[in-house]
């Protein structure tokens, strides 16, 4: 591996607290670019703007999606900015490179009635599966947590003096997220079903000691089937989207939503405004007397 790439990856893990999978993804993207550079007699750190452009053209000719190309360009930008900060080079060859245009994608949110039906379905599950499923749905929907954040919640994450949960998000950044009273009660009820104490809010026999993404997804699917909903439409990410969409639809502002979701860039949060734009468009088409 190129020594500059190796130093960059070490920085991601040590300074930014990037997860192992994230570091591996950067390593793969930079290895692909490194092969392109070496085929032209250069190391990845020696590339100029022309080489970056030829690499991006090659991705397009190979039929890679715009999303994949944009991700690889983002990896290159961060790599070359790291080299500039370290004094390895004075310029950024990606500065003038244009990001591929991504297709607009709308989050797939449930309706409020469907969320209530999902919670009722979770409550109908037998044994300890019921309280656990209710707690998972209530927490995901009332907080907008990522599934990774939910799985890694410590036993003390629920604040005793306020309806808040302490969340360790991306980049090891902690934030306090408000939750509903019923979500808090559901989490405490699920914890009351445990046979022995644990450091995790939702413990399991998995290697990490806490509930896994797969187990959360399975609990949601079971709740969906019990509620008569299509299980293919239900996932932790859909509940996160539903949380954001419903809040925005009821008057929440983007900046507050950004903080609640833990987005580093408000541009990420702005995708939800498209959901409202689409809703308003349908409203006019369906009800305006001259829409036809």
Domain 3-85 has CATH 2.60.40: no
Annotated active-site residue in 26, 55, 141, 272: 272
pLDDT of residue 281: 65
Over residues 252-281, the mean pLDDT reads 77
Is 101 considered catalytic here?
A: no
pTM of the model: 0.61
Please report which confidence band the pLDDT of residue 277 belongs to, taking 50, 70 and 90 as the band edges: low
Distances in Å between the Cα of 37 and the Cα atoms of 34, 64, 93, 150, 159 are 5, 19, 13, 41, 52
pLDDT of residue 28: 95
Q: Where are the domains of the chain?
A: 3-85, 112-283
Model confidence pLDDT, tens digit, residues 22-77: 899 999 999 999 999 999 999 999 999 999 999 999 998 888 888 888 899 999 99
Buried b (16+ CB within 10 A) or exposed e, 39-57: eeeeebbebeeebbeebbe
Whether pLDDT at 231 is above 90: yes
pLDDT of residue 292: 59
Higher pLDDT, residue 290 or 215: 215
Nearest in space to 144 (alpha carbons), one of 258, 241, 269, 255: 241
Annotated active-site residue in 36, 72, 184, 240: 240
Is 173 considered catalytic here?
A: no
Three-class DSSP category at 10: helix
Distance CA 196, CA 116 (A): 31
Annotated active-site residue in 146, 184, 191, 241: 146
Place of tokens 């309280």: 131
Is 263 considered catalytic here?
A: yes
Annotated active-site residue in 71, 129, 159, 237: 237
pLDDT of residue 291: 62
pLDDT of residue 150: 93
pLDDT of residue 288: 65
Distance CA 265, CA 36 (A): 31
Annotated active-site residue in 170, 175, 213, 221: 170
Whether pLDDT at 280 is above 70: no
pLDDT of residue 123: 96
- The secondary structure of the chain as a DSSP string is --HHHHHHHHHHHHTS---HHHHHHHHHHHHHHHHHHHTTT--GGG--HHHHHHHHHHHHHTT--HHHHHHHHHHHHHHHHHHHHTTS-S--TTTTPPPPPPPP----PPPHHHHHHHHHHHHTS-TTHHHHHHHHHHHHHHH---HHHHHT-BGGGB-SSSSEEEEE-GGG-EEEEE--HHHHHHHHHHHHT-SS--SBSSB-SSTTSB--HHHHHHHHHHHHHHHT--GGG--HHHHHHHHHHHHHHTT--HHHHHHHHT-SSHHHHTHHHHHHHHHHHHHHHHH-TT--
Model confidence pLDDT, tens digit, residues 181-212: 999 999 999 988 887 888 999 999 888 899 99
Is 38 considered catalytic here?
A: no
Whether pLDDT at 274 is above 80: no
Higher pLDDT, residue 274 or 135: 135
We find that the CATH architecture of domain 112-283 is: Orthogonal Bundle (1.10)
278: Cβ contacts below 8 Å, ≥ 6 apart: 106
Nearest in space to 125 (alpha carbons), one of 224, 240, 229: 224
Is 237 considered catalytic here?
A: yes
Model confidence pLDDT, tens digit, residues 117-167: 999 999 999 999 999 999 999 999 999 999 999 999 998 888 877 788 888
Distance CA 275, CA 292 (A): 22
Model confidence pLDDT, tens digit, residues 74-114: 999 999 999 999 999 999 999 888 877 765 565 688 999 99
């Amino acid at each position: 591996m190129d020594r500059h790439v190796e130093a960059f990856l070490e920085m991601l893990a040590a300074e930014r607290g990037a997860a192992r999978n994230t570091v591996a993804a950067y390593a793969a993207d930079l290895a692909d670019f490194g092969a392109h550079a070496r085929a032209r007699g250069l190391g990845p750190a020696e590339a100029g703007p022309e080489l970056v452009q030829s690499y991006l053209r090659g991705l397009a000719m190979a039929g890679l999606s715009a999303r994949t190309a944009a991700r690889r360009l983002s990896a290159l930008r961060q790599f070359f900015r790291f080299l500039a900060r370290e004094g390895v080079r004075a310029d950024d060859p990606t500065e003038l490179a244009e990001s591929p245009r991504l297709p607009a994608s709308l989050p797939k949110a449930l309706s409020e009635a469907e969320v209530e039906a999902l919670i009722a379905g979770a409550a109908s599950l037998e044994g300890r599966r019921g309280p656990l499923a209710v707690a998972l749905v209530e927490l995901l929907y009332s907080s907008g947590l990522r599934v990774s954040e939910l799985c890694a919640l410590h036993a003390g994450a629920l604040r005793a003096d306020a309806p808040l949960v302490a969340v360790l998000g991306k980049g090891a950044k902690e934030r306090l997220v408000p939750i509903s009273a019923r979500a808090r009660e559901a989490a405490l009820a699920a914890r009351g079903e445990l046979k022995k104490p644990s450091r995790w809010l939702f413990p399991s026999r998995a290697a990490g000691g806490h509930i896994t993404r797969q187990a959360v997804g399975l609990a949601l699917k079971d709740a969906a089937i019990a509620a008569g909903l299509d299980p293919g439409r239900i996932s932790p990410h859909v509940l996160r989207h539903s949380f954001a969409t419903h809040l925005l639809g009821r008057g929440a502002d983007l900046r507050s939503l950004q903080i609640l979701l833990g987005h580093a860039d408000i541009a990420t949060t702005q995708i939800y405004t498209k959901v409202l734009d689409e809703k308003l468009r349908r409203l006019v088409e369906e009800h305006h007397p001259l829409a036809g």
